[in-house]
Amino acid sequence: MRAVRALSAALLTLGVAAGPAAADASPSPSQDEASAPTRAGTSFRTATEIEQGQPATASGSTGDYLYWSFPADTGQRPTVEATVKLPESHASQTWQIDVYDGLRRRQACQYGAQTRTAAADAPSVKLACVLRTVRAWSEPWANDPLPGTYYVRLTATGVATADLGLPVGSDVRVDSRDIGGSAAVDGSLAEPLVPGVATKPGQEREDAAVLAGLEPEDGWASGRWSDRWVWTAAGGIMAALAGVGGYALTRGTGRPSRVPPA
C-alpha cells in the first residue's frame, strides 16, 4: 500500500513539474498591427526587421528581391508564411520563399509550400516554410539552425518578360512553436549568430553597431536551463520509487517459515 501511495505522489509531482513546461509552449501574443512594418529591404544588409508574431506588408515589383529579418532562439521551430498579391492581369508566375541564418546559409524547410506557381490571372499565391528546430550548439561543419538572426527572401523565380515590373503586394508573418527540452543539446554558442555582434571585444559589444538589432523578449536563452532537466529529475525519482516499491512488495518471499518447537 505504501508503494502505491509513493508511486501516486511521484506521478503528481511529475504532472506539476511538466505543467510550466507545457505552458511555455503557448505562442506569444501578436504585436500591434498598427506598428507593423510596411516595407521590405532589397538585400541582406537592408532587410526589414520584424518580431515573431508581427505581421509585415510591403509593396514591390515583379522581379524584385524582398528581404525581412527576425530573431529565433534555442528550442523554437519557426514557421514563415507569405502571401503575394498579384496584379489583375498576368501570365503564369512562380514565386519562392527562402530562409537564411545569420551566416547567410540557406536553411532547408521541413515542410511547407516553399515554391508555388500561380496560374495566369490568379489573384494571389501563398507560400510557407517550416524550419527545423533551432539548436543551442552544433558542429562547425553542420548546417543546423542556430540561435540568432534569420533572413527571409521573397522573389519570383519564373516570370514572363512582359510581367517584369508589374506591381505586387506581400504579407509576411513569422511564428514559432516552442519545442522545449526534447530538442536540448549539451553545449551553447558564445554569441548568437547576429551579424556584427562580435565586431568589438568585451564591453564594447554593448555599444557596437550590428546589422540586426532585434532579439527575443527575454534575451538569448542559448545554453540556459530547459525543461529537459525537469524530466530527467522526475525520471530519476520515479526509478528510485519504483525500486523501493518493488522491494516492499517482494520483501519476505524468500524467508524460511518458522517451525514451532516440539
pLDDT at 28: 46
Confidence at 80, pLDDT banded by 50, 70, 90:
very high
pLDDT at 208: 46
- Cα 128 to Cα 115: distance, rounded to the nearest angstrom: 8
pLDDT exceeds 60 at position 11: no
Pick the CATH number of 28-219 from 1.10.760.10, 2.60.120.380, 3.40.309.10, 2.60.40.420: 2.60.120.380
pLDDT at 246: 76
Residue with more model confidence, 136 or 71: 71
Confidence at 158, pLDDT banded by 50, 70, 90:
confident
Going from N- to C-terminal start, the domains of the chain cover 28-219
Residue with more model confidence, 204 or 57: 57
pLDDT exceeds 70 at position 129: yes
Give the position of cell 518447537: 261
- What strand order describes the sheet that includes 109-111? 56-61, 167-178, 76-85, 124-131, 109-111
- Residue 188 backbone dihedrals phi, psi, to 5 degrees: -155, 160
The number of beta carbons lying within 10 Å of the beta carbon of residue 61 is 13
For 211-261, write each residue's pLDDT tens digit: 566 777 666 764 455 555 565 666 778 888 888 777 777 775 555 556 566
Confidence at 95, pLDDT banded by 50, 70, 90:
very high
pLDDT exceeds 60 at position 64: yes
